Amino acid sequence: MPKAYWIAHVTVTDPDPYKLYATGATQAFRDHGARVLARGGRIEALEGESHPRNVVIEFDTMEAALACYNSDAYQATKRHREGAGIANIMILEGAPD
């Protein structure tokens, strides 16, 4: 089964509630066996709109990634992010093994 990747491009506009989101989301990711591959490092924006914060998180399967997103824990912490920034978030299924 192919892995899945949670990809987020974010501009934080209100750091205090966003920190609450980041803490809660990190725990939700751990609870679902996720591995953070990239978070907030240096970027080179080459084409299209960019955001200063970019995150790539790996899950064993698409189902695991979606279960994390739809979990009560993630949905509760997501409320801290809403209104605290601009985010584009997607889950991408990886290439077949």
**What's the pTM value of the predicted model, to 2 decimals?**
0.91
Taking the chain, what is the end-to-end CA distance rounded to the nearest angstrom?
7
* Token code pair at residue 29: 């990711």
Q: For residue range 48-67, list pLDDT tens digits in order.
A: 999 999 999 999 999 999 99
- Of 42, 44, 54, the closest CA to residue 6 belongs to 54
Cα separation of 89 and 29, whole Å? 14
Task: List the domains of the chain with CATH numbers.
Answer: 4-93 (3.30.70.100)
Helix 62-70 and helix 72-81: axis angle, to 10°? 60
Q: For residue range 16-38, list pLDDT tens digits in order.
A: 999 999 999 999 999 999 999 99
Contact 6, 73 (CB under 8 A): no
